[in-house]
Structure formats: C-alpha cells, structure tokens
Amino acid sequence: MRDTLKRLCLAPGVSGFESTAAGTAVELLERFCPEIGIDALGNICGIRRCGREGAKRLLLDAHIDEIGLIVSGHEKGGFLRFLPVGGVDLRVLPASEVTVLAAEPLFGVIGCMPPHVQTREEAEKPVSEGELFIDTGLSLENARKKVPVGTPVCLNSRFVEMNGTVFCKALDDRAGVAAILRTMEIIADEEISVDIIVQISVQEELGTRGAKTGAYSARPDMAVAIDVGHAETPDASKDVFELGGGVMIGVGPSLCRDMTDRLRELASEKGIKHQLEVMGGDNGTNAWPIQVSRAGVKTALLSLPLRYMHTPCEAVSLDDIESAAVLLAGFILKIPAQEGGEGHA
C-alpha cells in the first residue's frame, strides 16, 4: 500500500493535465483489469467481467487529479505569474517549492516578502492571488522561451510515512485510487456476479467533470465512489473524523439507502473499523453526479479521513485505506448472483 501510494502521489497530475499520474495508475491497474481504455477527457476505464451474460455493472470511482497552478504570464526578472487550478489554499503558497511542468520541468519557489521589510499592515494582510510569483532563476527572456503561458505547475512534496500515517501531496484522491487497487487485489481470484468497471476519473477538482462523462459512458447499474473527508485536528472539531478510526460510510438522501445499509451491516458484522458521515445534501464528491447519470445510478460513498486537505502535505492512515478496501471487497463478493444478472443486454 505504501509503495503504491508513493508512486501515485509523486506523479504530477494537476487537474486537466493528469496524463503522467494517469499513466502510473494504468500500470498499477492493468494486472487486475484485462480491458483498459482512456476516454476523450482522460478518464481511465478498466473492466473486469464476471463472465455471466447480461450481468449488471458496478462502477468503482476515485479521482486522479490534484490541485495545482497554471502559468498566466511573465514579469520583469523572469518571475512567473500564475492562477490556481482547483481549490488552492493561498495561505500555504508563500515559500512553497514547485515543479513547473514545461517541456523540461523546472524547479521553482513561490517568493515571499521577508518579515524584515514588511510593515505591520502588510504582515497582517491576507495573501492575495496577484501578489505571488514563481521564481525559477531564469531571466525574463529565458522564462518566456522555456515556460509558455498555460504551463501547469505542481506543488512539490516529499513522501513520508510515520507510524502508519502517510504525508504527501495529492492524497486527495490518490488514496482513494489506492483503495480501489487494493480492493481489486483482494478479489482478484474470487468469483464475482457483476461486471466491475474501475473508473479513475479526471478533473474532479474542476467540478467533477470526469465523473459526469465517465459515468454516462460506463452506464453502470450501481456505483461506489471513494474520496476523502476531513480528519480531526486540534483546531477543527466540527464535521471531522478520526484519523485511523476507519473508513467513513456516507449516509444521506443523495446516496442509495439500500447500499449504504448493506455497507454498514457488513462493516459491523466483520468488525471492520468504520465511521458514519451524515450529509444532508451535496456530498461534494463524484458520487453526486454519478447518481444522476442517465436514468439514475444506485450510488454509495466511502471516504478516507484526511488531514490538511488541499495542501502540499496531506495526511492519511494506511489502516483506513485498508479498511475501505476490505469493506468494499466484502460488499462486492456479497452481491447475490440473482441481483447481478439482470443488467444490460
């Protein structure tokens, strides 16, 4: 699990520019899915068929894209202007290290004004988008040649594991991708009653775009999306969950009650650590558009507690990923043969 996460997280995959990370995911997925394709948006679609005629389709979805930046201009001295891609927290950007994903990738830092030369007002003022620039050490002339406008930029991060907790960028949602890969490993030699479609989707951070088109194309009868939720920290006590407390099972009106109940019952029956995440409306994940694809899809949501979301140093528990995979694998293996056999012609 650790090695899989490391490969996934360290691969650049800014939303809309996911090809490198997607290539890594394909390499990891192809041992479990004999059929793999990539659609027009870049979604990965892997299929493992059960061998039963007219079997129903179960979609497993997690997104591969990460937040990042995009170069929007050049300034005197070779500094690069940029815009955020996805929900970037501007507070963490000053002095951050980045990789400018030009034809020849470049190291860069996001410059910040030293405290010695700031006024009190400047020191207390929130960071604004237009005040930050990327410094690659290039002259203005070379910056224009080597870094054209529209070049994506990835936040840099090390991959560190401490006592079963992993710290890195892009764990939202490469941890979900890892959970699906682990699920497919657990059931690799098991008989199944549904065709499984593994969708590793793109552009979730830009409005769940990949899931919308991918689910329309896949035409699933059932779906389980895996994403991340907020883990508790000393300064956050509302709507947060325990890191290491187990997979979060989504409960709410936008999710299929039958599937949710079966996941809850299975987790209790098997002693799988889990937590309940109650959502009154939009769950903010790919489960939201998948459930209304075409004529509707029975959809469930599993989430992984994550600290420091949308920063270069997110944190997730390896045990929580394993609990999600074990629960999802058990759910798949308990789908009755008669339920799995009334799908598409």
Active-site residue 121, yes or no? no
Query: Under a CB-based contact definition with an 8 Å cutoff, are residues 255 and 248 in contact?
Result: no
DSSP-H helix ranges across 59-170: 120-124, 140-146
The DSSP annotation for 34-58 comes to SEEEE-TT--EEEEE--S-TT--EE
Dihedrals phi, psi of 64, to nearest 5 degrees: -100, -15
Query: Under a CB-based contact definition with an 8 Å cutoff, are residues 68 and 85 in contact?
Result: yes
Q: How far is CA 231 from CA 242, 286, 301, 302, in A?
A: 6, 19, 16, 14
Query: Under a CB-based contact definition with an 8 Å cutoff, are residues 56 and 341 in contact?
Result: yes
Structure tokens at 257: 């009650």
Q: Exactly one of 66, 204, 205, 314 is catalytic; which is it?
A: 204
- Please give the helix or strand (H or E) that residue 294 lies within, else none: none
Cα separation of 249 and 31, whole Å? 28
Helices 318-333 and 2-10: angle between axes, nearest 10 degrees: 100
Burial class (CB in 10 A: 0-12, 13-18, 19+), 139: exposed
The DSSP annotation for 84-96 comes to EESS--GGG-TT-
Query: Under a CB-based contact definition with an 8 Å cutoff, are residues 58 and 194 in contact?
Result: yes
Dihedrals phi, psi of 311, to nearest 5 degrees: -130, 170
Q: What is the set of active-site residues?
A: 204
